[in-house]
Structure 1
Amino acid sequence: MPDKRTTLANSSLLVLLLLAVITSLSMGTVQVPPPDVLQALMGNADPMTAFVVNELRLSRVVAGLLSGAALAMAGCLMQTLARNRLATPGIIGIDNAATAFAVASVVGVGLSLAPSAMALAGAACATAIAFGLAGANGTRGYRFIVAGIGIGAIAGAVTQVLLSRVAIDAANAAYPWTVGSLNARSGNSVLVLAIGLAAGYAILMLISRALNTLQFSDAVAIALGTRLKATRILGLALSVLLTGLAVSVCGPVGLIALLAPELARTICRPGKVPLTASALAGATFMVVADLLGRTLFSPLEIPVGIITAIVGSPYLLWILLKPSRRSLT
């Protein structure tokens, strides 16, 4: 049964997310009052308002909401598996590998798979290589993180090589994948992400008790009845799935996976893996970051990945400089 603190935290994050969504649908080159936004969503607005809200902005907000939630849940999972606050898909190279494979599909290098499928393949390859290089430590310890950083650097270099060897039009089409953007996202990719996120969340809720025990030592987790190997493999597979699907929609917006779980752990009850709070926080961060990118220097648009990097990089430095904790909680 959820405790009062966690329930209050999730409810507060849900309210903030709804406010962010309404604000994002309201603001832009054409301003739409919030009451008119609600009327448009219910199908009662005039044709112009309905077009602006439902056709131009809603799909983008939905893409941001889903991708932010997926990245945040993947980050929370990876941090729990590695017992390290820095172990997020972006930092250990999964984002960059997924991006490299997606860019390869976009620029056309003889690969006919869809970007979403290629992003999943890239995320899986990066994770398998990092896991292999980490050896007996698996997803635990700094060796896994260092291996992932190296893989991410190589994947980033591959992306740049691919972009440098194609025509300028193809490079421009692939550019949003390299910085993170929600502009003109594929409806099919968003649908696949929605299905994957719903399935992943349902599975995580079923194994939430086992995930909670991973925050303790292996001996304690085993004593509590947790099947460590199976739980870690399933958690790692779900983290890869969520990351690959999210990157196929928004590109590498990696710091969402760092910021959202940290906020969720701060406001929720210690001792639990805050998957729901992380998802809500990640969705809110992504929607707000995209809103800022669209409106701060309008009509010039700043990709959402750049906004999150500006906000999240100082926090990453703070984590690195702050004395480490023994536990994620």
Structure 2
Amino acid sequence: MKSSASDLPTSAYVPERRSPPVAAPPGYWRIAWQSTRGNACSLLIERRGVAVSAGLGVALVCACILYLSLGSMALAPSAVLPALFGRGEMISVFTVQELRLPRLVAACLTGGAFALAGVLMQTLARNRLATPGIIGIDNGATAFAVASVVGMGVSLAPPAMALAGAATAAALTFGLVAGGGTQGYRFIVAGIGVGAVFGAVTQLILARVAIDTANAAYPWTVGSLNARPGDAVGLLAVGLGVGVIAAFVLARPLSLMRFKDATAYGLGVNVKARRFQVLMLSVVLTALAVAVAGPVGMVGLIGPEIARSLASSRQVPLVASLLSGALVMVLADLAGRTLLAPIEIPVGIVTAVIGGPWLLWILMRPQRSHA
């Protein structure tokens, strides 16, 4: 049978069906765009994290203004901002730019570095007590930095020696728990033991040198921003900038590494490689901060805990920890400068007085679930 033209199927234009846009999960903003290759890309931004970081940033700015205003010569906040740009009375400009601003920058950088290193180490060990200060990395960096200051047959600068000491302490701690992993209290106890050994080495070095030489190394034993090396501050600024970028690159693996290794492996994370990268980043940040301020390791415990209590438990609070650590360091150094003026309390002592009760509170407070 022959078919007529009217019996032939006619082609009709069928419009391309586009999938509806993907809605953002509750509590997130979703930003979508097309890459240069035409691939669809998207980014989720947690609303609570942005709000917490913004609040901590505002608090840090207010604390910085207060820091520049208070001291042996009090300045009105309205006179601080013009003095930052070289305007106003000469004595105000000199006080702000030459005396207080460099120390404020050092406080912000060291506090941020200690806290960022702390949250990285805590995530690596899945333990809120596993900060660089508690597991001995601070004391290792301090011992080597003191050795370079008193001239124990070495000629390297304190930052390089502090890095060598931090790496040595980390290697010893991880070597002592070889086969046991970084989880559990065995790791903490091994770190405490390594830190005690390096602390004794520091005291032995100071006991065998002249009193003037020991006084020059004193800031590296208690933690102080009073005698900060200028080159070490600049090196810390560069290192912290690189460290923040590296921490953001490791943000997703960090979030998954809080779970069991099998879960992280199943989600595509090379746990061994990422663990080594996180450890090295934490060691470098700690060493650079110790080279400037000495062992103020309690900031690495207090800062992340503040950030963790404010932010959501769904992600690692990197930005919030960085800002919290800087805020704690600025306020602690301000208290040390002003509470018993003209006597100055080293910032390491202030943070230790605050960190002791805080440590007890952490031990008694139940840990929040990551689920």
TM-score, normalised via structure 2 length: 0.86
State the 1:261 CA deviation: 0.5
Shift of 1:223: 1.5
Mapped pair 1:177 → 2:190 = no
Superposed displacement of residue 327, structure 1: 4.5
Query: 1:120-160 CA distances to partner (integer Å, 9 max, x unpaired)?
Result: 10000000111111112332222221111111000000010
2:88 to 36, 45, 56: 45
Count residues in correspondence.
Answer: 328
User: For residue 138 of structure 1, what is the amino acid of its counterpart?
Assistant: G
Query: Aligned equivalents of 1:326 and 1:267: distance in 2?
Result: 12
Change (3 A) 1:24 1:133: same
Match of 1:14 in 2: 57
Query: Retained in 1: the 8 A contact 2:75–2:92?
Result: yes
In terms of mean alpha carbon deviation, does 133-142 or 282-291 score higher?
133-142
Report the 3-state secondary structure (helix = DSSP H, G, I; strand = E; otherwise coil) of the residue aligned with 2:226.
Answer: coil
Separation (CA, whole Å) in 2 of partners of 1:255 and 1:231:
25
2:259 corresponds to 1:216: yes
1:324 is displaced (CA, Å) by: 4.9
Name the residue aligned to 2:159. Answer: 116
Quote the Cα distance in structure 2 between the aligned partners of 1:216 and 1:99.
33
Instruction: List structure 1 segments (4+ residues) > 3 angstroms apart after TM superposition.
Output: 323-329
Matched residue, 1:62: 105
CA contact (8 A) 1:96 1:156 kept: yes
Structure holding more helix per residue:
1
Counterpart contact for 2:313–2:369, Cα < 8 Å: no
Query: What residue identity is the alignment partner of 2:206?
Result: L
The answer to whether the 8 Å contact 2:53/2:323 transfers is: yes
Is 2:303–2:324's contact at 8 Å kept on the other side of the alignment? yes
Alignment match, 1:231 = 274
Does the CA contact (< 8 Å) of 1:132 and 1:138 recur in 2? no
Q: Provide closer, same or farther for how the CA distance between residues 16 and 49 of structure 1 changes in structure 2, counting only shifts above 3 A.
A: same
Deviations 1:1-23 (A, max 9, x none): 22111111000000111111111
Instruction: Tell whether the 8 Å contact from 1:85 to 1:328 is kept in structure 2 after alignment.
Output: no
Bigger Cα Rg: 2
Contact 1:83 1:327 in 2 (8 A): no
CA distance in 1, matches of 2:286, 2:365: 29
Query: Residue 166 of structure 1 corresponds to which residue in structure 2?
Result: 209
TM-score by length of structure 1 reads 0.97
Percent identity between the two aligned chains:
58
Higher RCO (C-alpha 8 Å, min separation 6): 1
Partner-residue secondary structure (3-state), 2:312 = coil
Answering whether residue 117 of structure 2 is matched by residue 74 of structure 1, we say yes
Give 3-state SS (helix, strand or coil) of 1:2's partner.
strand
Structure 1 regions of 5+ residues with no counterpart? none
